[in-house]
Amino acid sequence: RNVHKHVFSVLLALCRTPKGTWPWGKNKNFVMEMRWHEKFSIIFPDFTKGSGLLMSENKSNRYTSGAFHPFTHVYTQSDVMRVIEHARMRGIRVIPEFDSPGHTQSWGKGQPNLLTPCYKGDVPSGSFGPVDPTVDTTYKFMESLLKEVKFVFPDSYVHLGGDEVSFACWQSNPNVRTFMEKMGFGKDFTKLESFYMESIMNMTAALNRTSVVWQDVFDYHERIPQDTVLEIWKGETYQAELSRMTKAGHRVLLSAPWYINHISYGQDWRNSYAVQPQNFSGTEEQKKLVIGGEVAMWGEYVDATNLNPRLWPRACAAAERLWSDEEKTMNADLAFPRLEKFRCELLRRGIQAEPLFVGHCKHEYDGL
């Protein structure tokens, strides 16, 4: 889901992953697969948080200083366009995520005055926090970035993030506190984040693009355009969140139960298979607003060496749940032979998918 925690080769993206995935994403290179209305496969590369951020074709220091290496560990527009075209020919849509105002430390290395200076007492500490939502230059930069995103990514949706924003740096900064008083926000920093997110959602709408945002944006009671798609990532109470979001009339993507970077001993794919995305309190009209789901593989501990084994065939369980008639596919024991056969097909094609349990593949002894 994040392609900048570790940098993946475009060759891996094009040739070594099954249909519907792409090993690029946030501060945690993660991969995902999901369903949309008419059963499109969609992937969400996240180009924020750590290094390896999507780069402009401009090779100046401004664009490369946030990368692990300015030449070998960047994704150029040409790289991205290759992946988009490869996906398009296979009926797959690519929707980027540029997550802000948090998860933007690498942006600040190439864009002066974008991040909020943190303070220790009355003096700057030398560290930086989220994007500074109090200055005009921030919004000029974001408008320029979103215009470039529109040029590179043809899809009508763009993920704007909005999750996990720490308010500590904003609280420490006297200029931010003055701005809060001027705007009448008091000491409620969720209102400051709302101010920022509403601004960039409006920019996105002005570019004729539809926003996707994380659930935090909804939870902070922000004024969200009605066509915005909300994505749920917090796992404890996702059914209640589904009820609230759909009652407000928003379309929703569910990711919370499918964070498969969380690994455990045994057949943990069965947990993914047992999820019922529309099993929450609400009307039938509300349940129609749950338009898909996402399998997330966050990449702090994943790179090209272990991406495929960790992802496959575990992601297949969620894929079948999202693509297939729930009433006919609720028995994990019946699904096991199908997933086992698919895993063998992946191995036969050279994709190192991990075993589901004790067993073997017939092709292993072909020709003996």
- Name the burial class of residue 363, with classes exposed (0-12), middle (13-18) and buried (19+) by CB atoms within 10 angstroms of its CB: exposed
Apex 31 CA angle, 25 and 36, nearest 5? 105
HSE (side-chain half, CA atoms, 13 Å) at 292: 20
- Pairwise CA distance, residues 298 & 314, whole Å: 14
Amino acid at the residue 26:
K
Helix ranges, the chain (H)? 10-15, 61-64, 77-88, 105-110, 136-152, 168-172, 174-183, 189-206, 215-219, 238-247, 269-273, 284-288, 307-311, 314-323, 332-348
42: exposed, middle or buried (Cβ count in 10 Å: 0-12, 13-18, 19+): buried
- Confirm if 152 and 77 have CB atoms less than 8 A apart: yes
Pairing of strands 41-43, 290-293: unpaired
Evaluate whether 24 touches 8 at the Cβ level (below 8 Å): yes
**Within 10 A of 12 (CB to CB), how many other CB atoms are there?**
16
Terminal Cα distance for the chain, rounded: 41
Token couple for 25: 């994403």
- The count of C-alpha atoms lying within 13 angstroms of the C-alpha of 202, restricted to the half-sphere facing its C-beta, is 9
Tokens read off for 236: 């404890």
Q: Which of the residues are catalytic?
A: 164
